[in-house]
């Protein structure tokens, strides 16, 4: 089968390290479904993992943590899926990724693609949706159908996770959503996704919250966590406020949490499949619910760029787009 991956473990491996591969079609284990991949999306996770994992010419590393496709075969213990079903999923970062014609995924973390949703739109959803959902509802504990008059700050620009987090907060809660982006086009995007208030994280965050009377902030979802932004978060937080992060911050002074008894929360989509947690089945429910709402127009697809078919050349361009940090919405590739 066709696939795209890299064959050398090397810190800072450039996009040129992504190459076209010819690999054997994998064989599903008892809990797996074998998926004929139709579309994939790219995430910052792919950039972090490029070159950082063991790889060789004999054992290439395939990335890709967003996929939609058609079930080709199911393992002996799989329930709820049959050959021909259309599925979407994020997968498991410890296993081979989805940038391949055929891919295995644990059936417990896959969802059915609803009628009316394209494979490209479906592939754009899993990692960003599950990350946003897990952070908002499981880690930060936003109240479903509640929270009126309380404030959520999404410090994140206009990437995939912010795109979904803004929409999910608007759809499933009554909180006020303050979101940050720095360029006119990214600010326009997050406003379109439903942010009540838009600020710039290039300017003084605390000063903007204060001058626009947007605080105090009860929940903060940060995709850009630095010592400076963390200081601003602690300053604008309400007592007992919760701060979530999904990036890789360095040098944070956690003592900033103390005066207001704040908390700091990590959310990793892969906790469920890696540790096979009791709630592993939640991903299916969330994916199917959100995919249905995209299909029926209740929520907006995060797809903002289509980079063509799935091959090394197009994947390199997609990696570059994500790596630039200025990408808006989701980048997808489709077909082989």
Residue 264 within binding range of a copy of itself, rule CB under 8 A = yes
Choices 20-28, 42-50, 171-179, 258-266 (CB under 8 A): range interacting with a copy of itself: 258-266
| Structure token digits, residue 141 | 């504990």
- Please tell me whether residue 249 binds a copy of itself under the rule CB under 8 A: yes
What are the E-state strand segments in 42-117?
61-62, 67-74, 86-89, 102-106, 111-112
Query: CA 18, 20, 24, 28 torsion: positive or negative?
Result: positive
CA neighbor of 267 nearest in space, from 168, 159, 173, 129 = 129
Q: Does 226 bind a copy of itself (CB under 8 A)?
A: no
Alpha carbon distance 141, 164 (integer Å):
16
The residue within the footprint of a copy of itself, chosen from 266, 285, 298, 325 (CB under 8 A), is 266
Given 193, 262, 291, 331, the residue binding a copy of itself (CB under 8 A) = 262
Neighbours of 288 (CB within 10 A): 16
Q: Residue 285 interacts with a copy of itself (CB under 8 A)? A: no
- Indicate the DSSP class of residue 329: B
Please work out, in degrees rounded to the nearest 5, the angle formed at the alpha carbon of residue 274 by the alpha carbons of 167 and 334. Answer: 55
Among 81, 119, 219, 245, binds a copy of itself (CB under 8 A): 245
User: Does the protein bind a copy of itself through residue 210 (CB under 8 A)?
Assistant: no
Q: Which of 267, 290, 304, 316 binds a copy of itself (CB under 8 A)?
A: 267
Do residues 221 and 155 lie in contact, with contact meaning Cβ atoms separated by under 8 Å?
yes
Q: Please tell me whether residue 161 binds a copy of itself under the rule CB under 8 A.
A: no
- Give the residue with the Cβ less far from a copy of itself, 142 or 257: 257
Question: Distance between CA atoms of 65 and 91, rounded to whole angstroms?
Answer: 6
In this chain, which of 82, 228, 254, 285 binds a copy of itself, going by CB under 8 A?
254
- Sign of the C-alpha dihedral computed for residues 293, 65, 95 and 131 taken in this order: negative
For position 228 contacting a copy of itself by CB under 8 A, the verdict is no
Q: Give contact residues for a copy of itself (rule: CB under 8 A).
A: 134, 138-139, 239-240, 245, 248-249, 252, 254-255, 257-268, 270-272, 274-275, 277
């Amino acid at each position: 089968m066709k696939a795209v991956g890299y064959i050398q473990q090397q810190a800072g491996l450039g996009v040129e390290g992504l190459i076209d591969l010819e690999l054997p079609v994998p064989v599903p284990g008892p809990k797996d479904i074998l998926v004929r991949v139709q579309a994939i999306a790219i995430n910052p996770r792919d950039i972090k993992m490029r070159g950082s994992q063991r790889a060789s010419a004999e054992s290439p590393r395939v990335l890709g943590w967003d996929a939609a496709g058609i079930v080709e075969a199911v393992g002996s213990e799989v329930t709820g899926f049959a050959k021909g079903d259309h599925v979407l999923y994020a997968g498991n970062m410890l296993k081979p990724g989805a940038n391949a014609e055929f891919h295995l995924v644990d059936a417990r973390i896959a969802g059915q693609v609803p009628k009316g949703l394209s494979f490209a739109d479906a592939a754009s959803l899993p990692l960003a949706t599950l990350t946003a959902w897990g952070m908002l509802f499981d880690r930060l504990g936003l109240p479903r159908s509640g929270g009126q008059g309380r404030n959520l700050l999404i410090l994140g620009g206009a990437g995939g996770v912010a795109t979904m987090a803004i929409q999910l907060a608007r759809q499933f809660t009554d909180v006020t959503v303050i979101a940050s982006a720095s360029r006119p086009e990214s600010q326009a995007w997050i406003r379109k996704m439903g942010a009540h208030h838009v600020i710039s994280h290039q300017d003084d965050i605390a000063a903007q919250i204060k001058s626009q009377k947007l605080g105090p902030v009860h929940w903060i979802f940060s995709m850009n966590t630095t010592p400076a932004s963390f200081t601003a978060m602690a300053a604008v937080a309400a007592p007992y406020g919760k701060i979530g992060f999904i990036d890789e911050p360095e040098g944070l002074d956690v003592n900033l949490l103390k005066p207001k008894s704040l908390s700091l929360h990590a959310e990793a989509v892969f906790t469920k499949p890696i540790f096979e947690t009791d709630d592993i089945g939640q991903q299916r429910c969330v994916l199917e619910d959100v995919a249905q709402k995209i299909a029926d127009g209740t929520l907006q697809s995060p797809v903002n760029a289509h980079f063509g078919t799935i091959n090394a050349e197009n994947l390199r361009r997609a990696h570059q787009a994500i790596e630039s940090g200025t990408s808006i919405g989701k980048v997808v590739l489709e077909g082989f």
